[in-house]
Amino acid sequence: MSDTPPHEPPGEVPPRREQAPHTDAAERSEQAPQRGTDRRRESLASLLGGRKGAIDASLPPVAFVVGWLVSGSSIGWGAAAAIALSVVIGCFRLARGDKVRAVLISLAAVVLAALIALRTGRAQDFFLIQLLSNVASALAWAVSIAIRWPLLGVVVGTVLGQKTRWRSDPDLLRAYSRASWVWVFGQYTLRIAVFGVLWWAGEVVALGVARTVLSWPLVALTVGVSGWVLHRSLPAEHPGLRHPVPPAAREAGASDGDPADGESSDAPGQSHKESGRSCGDTGTSTEATEGRAADAIDSDASPGGTNARSAPPGCDR
């Protein structure tokens, strides 16, 4: 009789080994660093923008100061120069594709500022609207943080199309609140202090310079600092601004990782029960329950885990 194994039929293909599927916990651990990296790459400046609008808004006050100086401190000529430049900028913005409503609001603000200066006869009052608007903005942002509706979250959530879903994420809500304080103190309060002192002293030229310096340069600095605070306030495993994580989803994600631990903790009890049956343990259900509780306590207390007990409790009796 030959020892050669029989040949397999030519039509059959040997079965392939199936690879064990990856667990959800492993997939989450692999994706977590990538999500964190994507979160930090997205800057707040890229979402908000606003550089062109800030620059356009700072030009009419400069025109007012120049017209006021050239005409020998004439508020009328300064107001005419500011309004004329505002109309030119408005036409340029419309050609650029900006919204008509935004252009009309900017033009109306310049006209109102000029009318106030003409009415009071004081050139520094051209900047009074700017001073009062920053006071109102500082109060609005501070109140929004106090009532847990930080305006930075409202603005970014609107830009991202999230509406109010970001408020369901406690981490995002806390991060937006902290970053909003940068806007309260780093931008609006600073402007109030500078504009208020110069307006009270009647320094028209200094007000024009401050209006220019504290426009886009300060806005860019505020956006950068608040973006840094926003990202630093989020946990490292957070998926980012575009992906709010409500508490229910977080608890579900945490419970997905529990079965693996649960299976390992159930293994000792199962092996003990099988060993108990092999040793002839035929106790009542109460004794079996007590035995499983003792196994769980021993499994948690022993440093060796499931291998710390050399024999099931039924075999020691």
Cα distance between residue 74 and residue 110, in whole Å: 17
Q: Which residue has the higher pLDDT, 273 or 202?
A: 202
For 246-256, the pLDDT digits (tens) are 887 766 655 65
Answer yes or no: is pLDDT of 263 > 50. no
In this structure, what DSSP letter does residue 16 have?
P
Rounded to an integer, the average pLDDT of 33-50 is: 57
Band (pLDDT 50/70/90 cuts) for residue 47 is confident
Amino acid at 271: S
Average pLDDT over all residues of the chain:
77
Cα distance between residue 292 and residue 266, in whole Å: 10
Write down the pLDDT at residue 51: 66
Residue 242 and residue 40 in contact, taking contact as beta carbons nearer than 8 Å? no
For 162-185, the pLDDT digits (tens) are 889 999 999 999 999 999 999 999
Write down the pLDDT at residue 216: 86
Give Cβ neighbours of residue 75 (< 8 Å, ≥ 6 apart): 68, 117, 118, 121, 122, 123, 126
pTM of the complete model: 0.66
